[in-house]
Chain A
Amino acid sequence: MNWIDTIAQGVLLGGLYALFAAGLSLVFGIMRLVNLAHGDLIVMGAYLILLVVSLTGMNPFLAAMVAMPVMFALGWGLQRVVLNRVLGPDILPPLLVTFGLSIVLQNVLLQGFSADSRRVGAGALETASVDLGVVTLGVMPLLTFASAVGVIVALNWVFYRTSLGRAFRATSDDPVTASLMGIRPQGIFAVATGIALVVVTIAALYLGMRANFDPTIGPARLIYAFEAVIIGGLGSLWGTLAGGMIIGVAQTVGAAINPEWQILAGHVAFLVVLLIRPRGLFPRAFD
C-alpha cells in the first residue's frame, strides 16, 4: 500500500466534501440554520445542470454557469418566503421545515427524473490524470480541489473585503445590534442563502461529473458536509476545507486498511475531533 498516494487521494476527496460543505458553512455561520435539505439541494443542482446539458448540448461547466442564477433566485426566495419565518433560538422549527423540504425535493426529483442513476458526461476529463512521479492524480479530483479552494477564496473575499461581507459578519455576531446599524437581517439572510446555492451549484457540477447520482443520495452527502463544517468551526471557511480534508483522509486511510471501514473511519475522525475540540478547530464566531 502506498501511503503517500492514499493520503493525496484523501486530501483531494476532502476538496469535494469541502465543496459540499461551503454553502452550508456560510448559512450555518451567519444564521445558525441547520439546513437538512442541503444535500438534496446539491442533488437538485446536479439535475438542473443535467437538464441544461441535455437540452442544449452545452459543456457541463457552461451549463453550471446557466444554472447559477436560477439557483441564486431559488435560494433567495426560499429564505424570504419560508426560512426567515422559522429562524429563532429554537432549532426545531427550521429542522422540521428543512426536513420537510428535503422530502419534497427528493420526491419531486423522483417524479420528474425517475429513480434511475444519472451522470453528467464530462468526456475525456473523466479519465485524464497527471503523473507527478510519486503519485498519479486524476485531473477531475484536482479540479475539484482547486474549485473548493477557489470558492473559499472568493467567499472570504466577499466576507472580509466587501460591505456585504461586513453585514454578514455583523449579523452573524449579533443580529439585533446589526439591525440597529441599519442592516436588515432578513434581507442579508436571503442574499446569503442565494450565494450558498450558487456554491451548491458548483458542488453539484462535480457531484454529477464524478459519479452516478439519483434523487435519494442527498442525505448521505449532507452528513459529510455537516461534519466538515463542525470540524472546521463555526464561521471559518478555511476550517471547513480542513474539516473536509480530515474526513477525506480518514476515509481513504480507513478504506486502505479495510474497504468496509471507509465511511466508519470518517465518522470516527469527526467524533474524535469533537471530543477534543467541542467547538471545532478554528471557530470564528460564538454560538
Chain B
Amino acid sequence: MGAGKTYRVETRTTASTVAGVGAVGLIVVAVALPAFAGRGLIQDLFFILTMLVLAQFWNLLAGYGGLVSVGQQAFVGLGGHAMFGAAILCGWDPVAALVLSGVAALLVAIPTAFFAFRLAGAYFATGTWVVAEVVRLSVAQWKALGGGTGISLPREASGEMLGQAAIEALFGVRSAAARDILAYWLALALCVATIGGIYWLLRTRRGLALAAVRDNAPAARAVGVDAGAMKWVVFLTSAFGTGIAGGLIYLQKGRISPDAAFAVTDWTAYVIFIGGIGGIGTIEGPIIGMLVFFLLQSLLADFGSWYLMALGLIGIAIMLLAPRGLWGLFSDRTGLHVFPIRRRLAGGKLDATKREE
C-alpha cells in the first residue's frame, strides 16, 4: 500500500487557500489604514466591522443553531451600559471595561437561555424580543447612568483611554480622532477574532455536530449529538461577542441612552436583514449582506424614507427570488466556498492523480 492510497478528510479547497492569503493581505492593509485614510473612512469601516460582528453572531445563532432571535439588542445595550457603568461609576478604563460588556451580556444570557430554550420557532423569537424589552425598561430605571435620557462618557474617560495618547502622538491627530482610530482597531481585532473563531468552531467536532443539528435535528440526535448542549454553546458565545461589540459601539459613540442602545431596528432588524440578503448558514453570507447594506446606505441615505422603503423592498425581493440569499445563489451556481466547512474525502483510490496503475 503506497502513501497515496490513504484516505484523508479535507475541508481546504484552492479557492479557500487563495482567499486565506487574500484575507491576510487585507488585514495587513486594514491595520495600516489609519496612517493614510481620513476620519470619515475610518468611521465607515468601524460601522461595517461592528455590524459584521453582530451579523456573524446572529448568523451563528439562526443559521447554525436554528435559534432565530429577535432579542440581540438586549446584549448590545447591556454591553454598552456595562462599559459606561464601569467607566463612570468605578473609574475603569473604557477599553478594559469591554471585557465587562461581554461578561454582563453573558450573565443575562444564562437565565434568558433557561427561559427561551423552552420555546421554539415564533415563540422563541417573541420571547427573546420581550426579554430584550424587559432589560431595556429595567436599565432605563438605573438613575446613576442617566435613566431613560442617557449619559455621555466623561472627558477623563473618553480622552485618556488605553493607548489613546500613543495614537495621538503616532498619527499627530486630536483626541476624538484618536478615539475613532482606537475603536477601529479594536473593531478590526474583534471582527477577525469573530470570523476566525466561528470558522474554527465550525471545523471542529462541535461544528460538525452543529451542522448536523441544523440540517436534521432528529437524525443528529440519533447519532448521539447533544443538540441541547450545542444550543447553549451557540447562545452564550453569541451573547458574549454581541455584548463586547455593543460596548465597543458605544465606546466610539461616547454617548448612550437605553432607547438607542436597545433599539430592535438598529441592532436586530438590520442584522437580520444583512443575514437574509447575504444568506445565513454560511460565513460568507453576512459579509456579502453587510457590503450590500452599506452600499445601499451610502448610495441612498440622502433620500431619507425612500432609502428605507428601498431596503424593505429589496429584502422582500431577495426572500422571494433567492431564499438562501445572494451568497447562497452564487455558491449554488459556482460551487465556490471561501470558508469551506464541508468535509470531503480525498486521497486513496478517490484521488485520480495519485492512482497507481
Contact = CB atoms under 8 A, between A and B. Distances in A.
A264 B138 contact: yes
Given A86-B323, A104-B312, A278 B129 contact: no
Contacts of B133: 223, 263, 267
Interface in B293-334: 305-306, 308-309, 311-316, 319-320, 323
A100 interface: yes
A92 B62 contact: yes
A112 B314 CA distance: 21
A86 B138 CA distance: 36
Given A85-B320, A99-B315, A223 B305 contact: no
Contacts of B315: 96-97, 99-100, 103
Interface string A207-234: 0000000000001000100110010000
Contacts of B119: 274, 278
A93 B134 contact: no
A271 interface: yes
Contacts, number: 121
A135 interface: no
A268 interface: yes
A223 B130 contact: yes
A102 interface: yes
A58 interface: no
Nearest to B313: A104
B190 interface: no
A97 B118 contact: no
B264 interface: yes
User: Among the interface residues A226, A268, A275, which one has the most CB atoms of the partner chain B within 10 A?
Assistant: A226
Interface string B248-280: 000000000000000011000100110010001
Nearest to A227: B130
Interface string A104-133: 101110110000000000000000000000
Q: Tell me the dominant secondary structure on chain B's binding face.
A: helix
Given A91-B122, A96-B276, A275-B115, A223 B320 contact: no
Contacts of A263: 133, 137
Interface residues of A, number: 40
B125 interface: yes
Given A103-B309, A278-B119, A95 B125 contact: yes
B127 interface: yes
B45 interface: no
Kindly state the interface size class of chain B when it binds its partner.
Answer: 35 or more
B108 interface: no
B123 to A, nearest CB: 6
B309 A108 contact: yes
A34 B134 contact: no
B121 interface: yes
Contacts of B115: 271, 274-275
Interface in B119-159: 119-123, 125-127, 129-131, 133-134, 137-138, 140-141
A81 to B, nearest CB: 9
Contacts of A28: 122
Contacts of A5: none
B68 interface: yes
B264 A219 contact: yes
Contacts of A97: 315-316, 319-320
Given A267-B133, A268-B134, A278-B119, A103 B311 contact: yes
7 interchain residue pairs of minimum CB distance? A103-B312, A100-B315, A104-B312, A107-B305, A100-B312, A100-B316, A96-B276
Interface of A: 28, 32, 34, 82, 85-86, 91-93, 95-97, 99-104, 106-108, 110-111, 219, 223, 226-227, 230, 260, 263-264, 267-268, 270-271, 274-275, 278-279, 287
12 contacts: A28-B122, A32-B122, A82-B316, A82-B320, A96-B319, A99-B315, A100-B312, A100-B313, A104-B312, A104-B316, A107-B306, A271-B115
Given A82-B316, A93-B319, 11 more contacts: A92-B68, A92-B280, A96-B272, A96-B315, A97-B319, A99-B273, A104-B309, A107-B309, A223-B133, A264-B137, A287-B121
